Amino acid sequence: MKKIVTLCLVFFSLLLMAKGQTTKYQAPEGFDVLNAAVPQGRIDTITYHSKTINHKRKALVYTPPGFSKKKKYPVLYLLHGIGGDEKEWLNGGKPQIILDNLYASGKIEPMIVILPNGRAMKDDRATGNIFDSAKVQAFATFEKDLLNDLIPFVEKTFPALKDRENRAIAGLSMGGGQTLNFGLGNLDKFAWVGGFSSAPNTKPPQELVPDTEKAKQLLKLLFISCGDADGLMLYSKRTSEYLTKNNVPHIFYVEPGGHDFKVWKNDLYIFSQLIFKPVNPSTFPEYTVLGFPATTNIRNNKYPQVLPDRRVVFRTKAPDAQKVQIDLGKKYDLQKDTGGYWTVTTEPIKPGFSYYSLLINGVAVADPASETFYGMSRMASGIEIPFPGDDFYAHKDVPHGDIRVKEYFSPVTRSWRKLYVYAPPGYDETPTETYPVLYILHGGGEDERGWAMQGKTNLILDNLIAEGKAKKMLIVMPDANVGSGGFTANGVESSLKTFENELKRVIIPFIEKSYRAKTDASSRAMAGLSLGGIHTLFTGINNNDMFSHLGVFSSGFIMPLLEKIADTQYAYLKNNTDTFNSNIKNFWIAMGGKEDFAHNNCQMMLGKLDELKIKYTYSEYPGGHTWPVWRNNLYNFAQVLFK
């Protein structure tokens, strides 16, 4: 009996926890049901003269429970959609019931709510062809009616606070577009703006918020919401992406549902609790129910989903599995539901690209919902986590080069091998032009696909070239896996020597024969990440007469494993300091901060280079030993090449 009672208490506690989580981000059951036991607000009709259209117009007004003309109130202007009028919210959304229940729970500030007709024309009924150009134009005309006629009337007729900090605007669909257009276009009038499922009348983000610094300063809250199955998601998403890129605090609330009042009632429930009170912008990313499918998902798979605060929701079906985990460096246990689906929400993940694996009954497998990448010495799943500042490798409307896959026979390894080549925009259209070449190497556990797939080399260079920040160049991404001696001092040394031979005897001649590549040392560069950085050090130092630029990313001679190799290289540099400094125009070294596990080896190497008076450039980009760091390294290194 004691066990049964304990289990019941545990179950009840979990139920309460689940309910608490739901009510924070989503309305609970009964939130829009009339409760006769709580105080009720009042709905009235008001009539005002519109100088804008020279006509009398109607609106509804909600006054809260206990309303008193002796008290001053903030005001929310709540707008309808293209097929509605001032009664649409009342008939479909029950705003008075939602607000009454929230008042009774002490969750919102007392406020006046104005429900106007957003179609500013003499015949403002939602009849006939609601998409008629004159009727659509009337929704834009309403901005003048709102600012010059309705707001002054409300503030003269009701005990309304008249400063912008006590004025909010929100709306659904067409009214959501109006809200964003009018609210963000008149920040001297509104401090609280909520666009629910905003329609195509929403202005492009650059027009909505041309001055992002002003928006940061004046907005108290910008709330953008949309149902995940809403066909108008594009307009909310593009606005949020622009705001995120420009670091404008806002809530992007994604919820289950389409373009209907189930969604909009929930939006009002959430939005009304946030306005006219102190808000903490650092909590804004938490306000969502759903995220967006990761860009690395295969086709239309909804999961993994990335939430605004970089948490990730994983979901997979494995009805016969006993245990399922996600391994992102840290392991997360998934919970199974009655349908055989396993789900977990992680902690915030590092921005950019991360490898991960599904562990099913302890066996690591690729997630069938995600793209796979060769990394960790096997095919693994990968996920992209967006972040402000990642647009340097975004798909943009610029001229694009392409990635070409070439196979060649190597007499060094006596085998057929493969490499990837980036050809810049216009390569095929300019048959007489020749190009400098960057040879760039992957890290341990990866291959020639690394820089092309995980590294997004083509997008980085396309964007840099379009902006005039980088020269047009060929980029060769070979497979540096040529050794078989394992990760021992002798094994690594054998691999370094073999690849040096492969590059000099096979790859460079093959590229210069197959492509219009410049053949002088001043037009050649070499770079690599991690183990590829050690290859760059070994081959680049030994053959500094063949290259003019060397890039070493997250690397350095591994001590004490490679002490013998390092000493040989340092001895060479000591005896050839002037020659090396003259030949290598850019010896560019970068690390992923102190959390980069190669950091200590790199610092020891830099100390030795200083001692030998070798010239170099050093920088750090936080992120550890990861692809986001190396993408940034390529972005910056490419800008100094061949100039």
User: Is the preceding omega at residue 424 within 30 degrees of 0, hence cis?
Assistant: no
Residue 7 pLDDT > 80, yes or no?
no
Cβ neighbours of residue 540 under 8 Å, at least 6 residues apart? 526, 547, 550, 584
Q: Report how far apart, in Å, the C-alpha atoms of 336 and of each of 223, 324, 434 are.
A: 33, 9, 58
CATH code of the domain occupying 400-640: 3.40.50.1820
Confidence of residue 16 (pLDDT cuts 50, 70, 90): very low
pLDDT at 535: 97
Residue 120 exposure: Cα atoms within 13 Å on the Cβ side: 23
pLDDT at 17: 34
CATH among 3.40.50.970, 2.70.150.10, 2.60.40.10, 1.10.10.10 for 293-385: 2.60.40.10
Question: Which of these, 261, 354, 267, lies nearest to 304 by C-alpha position?
Answer: 354
Mean pLDDT, residues 302-318? 95
Mean pLDDT, residues 511-534? 98
Mean pLDDT, residues 428-437? 96
- Enumerate the domain spans of the chain: 42-286, 293-385, 400-640
Decide the pairing of beta strands 292-293 and 251-255. unpaired
Q: Which residue has the tokens 């497998």?
A: 365
pLDDT at 504: 97
Fold of 42-286: Rossmann fold (3.40.50)
Mean pLDDT, residues 52-78? 97
- Indicate the helix (H) or strand (E) that contains 264: helix 261-274
- Crossing angle (nearest 10°) for helices 489-502 and 531-542: 60
Pick the range with the lowest mean pLDDT from 13-27, 68-82, 212-226, 413-427.
13-27
Q: Report how far apart, in Å, the C-alpha atoms of 119 and of each of 53, 110, 192, 366, 456 are.
A: 11, 28, 22, 53, 48
pLDDT at 485: 67
Residue 18 pLDDT > 70, yes or no?
no
Which amino acid is residue 560, in one-letter code?
A: P
| DSSP-assigned letters across all residues of 134-164 | HHHHHHHHHHHHIIIIIHHHHHHHS-B--SG
Residue 20 pLDDT > 80, yes or no?
no
pLDDT at 22: 39
Residue 624 pLDDT > 60, yes or no?
yes
Residue 224 pLDDT > 80, yes or no?
yes
Answer yes or no: same fold for 42-286 and 293-385: no
Residue 1 pLDDT > 50, yes or no?
no
